[in-house]
């Protein structure tokens, strides 16, 4: 069985690896119930979703209702103002078929003014405080893709958890974001432990993450075999061998120049190209059903047509990505994907 552990000072006890709720959107409701219950039988007790993830909350809600008291449910709201936050929270409680959320996270606090908006009078924080007093939320966290904004959010001392991308390719967060969280005893959650589906070998991904046991990874799951493989990797932890490290280095150098970390430092673009969102297409394609991929990527991909290859974004990208070239490549891939999916 997967072990349970305390999630920082949040007051929550969770499985040492969680269940990410995005890929269940690709499954039928019956398949999703089967997967969630099977994962629970393997020791997964921590389920993370968001109101933005299609029908993920509905599917998890249905699967978790009979075992509600034995699991930890985390969801998120992208709201910045109180009115929207109140609506989102009520919807999530309803859709997840529960009277309370163990963890409610402010979703993607990445833009520099996000915290100001949330904490301002009439901001989402008012709803969070009230809901916590009423027992509708036990702990409050946030997720982010921007290291600076995430560190600033940790520094407010108001959040119990932080969720940030962390895997053997995206590991800068460990020194910066997770260090800020550790100072305050916050729970640390790793989104995209498998690089959003781009890093193939689960044994390498989790072998790497197991060296940082204070961080709880939340891989997105869509198959019984995936849940079993991960459970097995946590039951029989082993240190990475020299060959493993060589394989990791090979993947790092292959992806190093082509991996968008979604930090948004390249923004804004004067031509209004939604760079980080267009860059998401590749991993969205691996994780979401085709109709959702079109819905999520279509708008961002349309903005790529405005790119005049001025190169200003490249100068701002800390990872030296060849952005205009990548955008053109993803745009072409997206057009082929739309033509093929019909
Ligand atoms: S190269 Fe394209 S995406 Fe980058 S800043 Fe210029 S117009 Fe925007
Ligand atoms: S393109 Fe570069 S700067 Fe822009 S989000 Fe990706 S990694 Fe960050």
- Using one digit for the tens of pLDDT, what is the confidence trace for 31-58? 999 999 999 999 999 999 999 898 999 9
The atom number, within ligand 1, closest to the CA of 327 reads 3
Greater confidence (193 vs 199) lies with 193
Nearest CA to ligand 2 atom 2: 317
For residue range 306-334, list pLDDT tens digits in order. Answer: 999 999 999 988 788 999 999 999 999 99
Cα separation, 269 vs 290, in Å, equals 28
DSSP codes joined into one string, 23-90: GGGGS-HHHHHHHHHHHHHHT--EEE--TTSTTHHHHHHHHHGGGGGGSEEEEEE---BHHHHHHHHH
The answer to whether the CB of 155 is under 6 A from ligand 1 is no
- Residue 269 in any domain: the answer is no
Same domain for 204 and 308, yes or no, is: no
Q: Say how far apart CA 74 and CA 72 lie, in whole Å.
A: 7
Please determine, for residue 181, whether its predicted confidence score (pLDDT) is greater than 70: yes
Helix (H) or strand (E) holding 276: helix 275-279
Average pLDDT for the chain: 93
Total domain count for the chain? Answer: 2
Distances (CA, A) of 53 to 27, 59, 289, 296: 13, 11, 11, 10
pLDDT at 264: 80
| pLDDT tens-digit series, residues 242-265 | 999 999 998 888 776 678 887 788
What is d(CA 39, CA 224) in angstroms, rounded to the nearest whole number? 7
Same domain, 75 and 184: yes
What does the pLDDT read at residue 286? 75
Rounded to the nearest angstrom, the distance between the alpha carbon of 174 and the centre of ligand 2 is 18
Residues 97 and 225 in one domain: yes
Q: Is residue 20 part of a domain?
A: yes
Query: Has residue 200 got a pLDDT over 90?
Result: no
Range of the domain at 312: 275-341
- Over range 204-215, report the average pLDDT: 96
State pTM to two decimals: 0.85
Among 245, 265, 300, identify where a domain stops. 245
Whether 275 lines ligand 1, by a CB cut-off of 6 Å, is yes
Note the pLDDT tens digit of each residue in 238-247.
999 999 999 9
Identify whether 144 is part of a domain. Answer: yes
pLDDT of residue 254: 75
Q: Does a structural domain hold residue 317? A: yes
Does one domain contain both 52 and 13?
yes
* 87 belongs to a structural domain: yes
The answer to whether residues 96 and 185 belong to one domain is yes
**What pLDDT shows up at residue 256?**
66
Residues 55 and 102 in one domain: yes
């Amino acid at each position: 069985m997967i072990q349970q552990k305390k999630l920082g000072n949040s007051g929550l006890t969770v499985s040492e690896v969680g269940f990410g709720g995005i890929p269940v959107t690709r499954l039928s409701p019956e398949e999703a119930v089967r997967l969630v219950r099977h994962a629970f039988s393997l020791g997964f007790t921590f389920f993370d979703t968001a109101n933005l993830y299609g029908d993920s909350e509905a599917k998890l809600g249905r699967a978790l209702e009979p075992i509600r008291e034995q699991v930890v449910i985390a969801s998120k709201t992208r709201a910045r103002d109180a009115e929207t936050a109140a609506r989102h929270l009520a919807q999530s409680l309803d859709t997840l078929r529960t009277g309370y959320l163990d963890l409610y996270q402010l979703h993607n606090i990445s833009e520099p003014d996000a915290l100001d908006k949330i904490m301002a009078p009439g901001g989402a924080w008012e709803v969070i405080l009230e809901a916590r007093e009423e027992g509708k939320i036990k702990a409050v966290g946030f997720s982010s893709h921007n290291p600076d904004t995430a560190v600033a959010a940790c520094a407010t001392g108001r959040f119990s958890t932080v969720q940030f991308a962390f895997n053997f390719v995206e590991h800068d967060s460990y020194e910066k974001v997770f260090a800020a969280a550790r100072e305050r005893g916050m729970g640390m959650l790793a989104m995209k432990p498998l690089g959003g589906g781009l890093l193939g070998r689960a044994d390498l991904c989790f072998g790497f993450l197991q060296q940082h046991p204070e961080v709880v990874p939340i891989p997105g799951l869509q198959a019984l075999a995936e849940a079993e493989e991960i459970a097995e990797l946590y039951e029989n932890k082993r240190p990475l061998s020299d060959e493993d490290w060589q394989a990791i280095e090979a993947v790092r150098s292959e992806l190093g120049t082509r991996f968008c970390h979604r930090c948004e430092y390249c923004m804004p673009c004067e031509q209004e190209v939604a760079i980080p969102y267009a860059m998401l297409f590749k991993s969205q394609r691996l994780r979401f059903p085709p109709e959702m991929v079109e819905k999520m990527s279509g708008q961002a991909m349309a903005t790529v047509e405005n790119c005049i290859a001025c190169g200003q974004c490249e100068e701002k990208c800390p990872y030296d990505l060849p952005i205009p070239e990548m955008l053109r490549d993803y745009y072409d891939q997206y057009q082929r994907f739309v033509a093929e999916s019909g």
